[in-house]
Amino acid sequence: MARTLRPFLTWTSLPIVVAMLALMTVSLLSVRAAESADPKDLAGFTTRQAIYVAVALVGFAVASAFPFRQVGRWAYVWYGLNLALLVLVLYLPAIRYSHRWIRVWKFQFQPSELAKLTYILALAWYLRYRANYRRLLGLIPPFVLTCVPAALILIEPDLGTTLLLFPTLFFMLFMAGARLRHLLAVLGVAAFLVLCPVPYNLDAGSPDEAESRAGLAYWTTTISGRRYAFVAAPLARLPVVNKTLMKTHQVSRIQGWLRQSDPAVAMDQGFQLQQSMMILGSGGLAGCRIPEAKDLYFRWLPDDHTDFIFAVIGGQWGLKGCGGVMLIYLAIFICGAEIAAVTQDPFGRLVVVGVLGLLFSQIFINVGMTLGLMPITGMTLPLISFGGSSMLVNALALGLLVNVSRCRPRMLARKPFDHDAKTPEQQATYKRPMPAPDGT
């Protein structure tokens, strides 16, 4: 028994395990607080979350048990099977106006959550020994690997999960050695497409007039006696996007975020955001001391047990509770960074970077939308928000971190991604690292 647990008791693996258990405990306490405030709609949710935690712990043990390179050999298989599930879910009956879940008996599984992990494995396996992504055209295959699942997830629609894939891609490409100027060029083009103002003639009564007057990011001016509205390109095409990819509630969320100071919007599209900020403010330093007021706030906050669980933490335990959760996440990042720095296997290092990039993006977006710094996108807080798919996938991701930490093969070649250490002719004849004695 001691020999079995020894790999998990190293100074890098043990904090990850302890942090994961601490976050799961916070999850149960937070869901319990939300259930107590709204026992009619959330009855039994704490028990269900406890079952999800137990399943996630089993998944963590499995993900950390098998050598990660054996898992990597099947990366493209996992990736392909997950794409098949993403296609299948589009033909299943919609649940809450979205085609995201596969219902199995009384439980629901979300393939888009699993896609985050299978995507990281496939991309890490592709990048591990290549150097073509050092050229601008060499970035096309990694972007294709990203865009295929991203498009399928966006059709569901699930904008939040789609947003996670691209930051993860850039983290992994940067760590693999892609040239910074190429990545910045891609970001510049994307920013131009997002922010480039497009003029619409208001006096001509164009079909986009109602849209430009909807309170989105625009400004008007007069040119040669005609009034024009300049609108950011994607926002200007919101009606078209809404018919194909985005739903009405997603457009309303963007409007509520852009017009937070408008009282009319705050009571309509921005109601969820206003309630979240009110709960965080009422929490103070150590949490709201008036149980009746706290329960009332929680009851009026939609999705307080899932997407807005951070607001529940702020209302229940105040700034101290929010800060404590952030410190637990920080411990995971510090240990994960140490694992990535010490690991010489290129696939293992990329998996660790991908997992850390995924967790960072999730935390940043979730906390940002709770504080009103980002639009509401339906993003869960890792290992805390209610939900079995999210809990299981994040536990699997941490299991991979521990896996890489405890299964580090010996390297008999130069360090991975050291592209400038040899000439191109020498790189063409570069021999791959020798496998570990166990064949992995």
- Residue recorded with tokens 């020894």: 6
The reported pTM is 0.79
Q: What is the pLDDT of residue 34?
A: 85
What are the start-end ranges of the E strands in 120-242?
197-201, 218-223, 226-232
Q: How many CB atoms sit inside 10 A of residue 292's CB?
A: 8
Q: How many CB atoms sit inside 10 A of residue 183's CB?
A: 17
Give the CA dihedral 365, 333, 116, 440, nearest 10 degrees: 170
Helix, strand, or coil (residue 23): helix
Q: What is the pLDDT of residue 130?
A: 72
Q: Where are the domains of the chain?
A: 8-191+285-428
- Residue recorded with tokens 């509770």: 321
Q: What is the mean pLDDT of each run of 10 residues along the chain (440 residues)?
A: 53 85 94 83 87 94 88 91 92 80 80 92 88 77 90 84 88 84 80 55 45 44 51 45 49 62 62 78 77 66 82 88 94 92 88 94 90 80 90 94 77 56 48 47
- Structure-token pair, residue 439: 């064949």
Q: What is the pLDDT of residue 266?
A: 59
State how far the alpha carbon of 150 is from the alpha carbons of 72, 143, 156, 162, 232, in Å. Answer: 21, 10, 10, 5, 22
Q: What is the pLDDT of residue 184?
A: 85
Give the DSSP letter of residue 346.
H
Closest CA to 204 of 237, 180, 227: 227
Q: What angle do CA 171, 173, 178 make, to 5 degrees?
A: 130
Helix, strand, or coil (residue 108): strand
b/e sequence 211-233, b meaning 16+ C-beta within 10 Å: bbebebebeeeeeeeeebbbbbe
First to last CA, the chain: 24
Closest CA to 439 of 8, 71, 62, 67: 67
Q: What is the pLDDT of residue 356?
A: 95
H helices of 66-139, in order, are: 68-72, 75-89, 111-127
Q: What is the pLDDT of residue 206?
A: 45
Give the CA dihedral 313, 54, 79, 397, nearest 10 degrees: 50
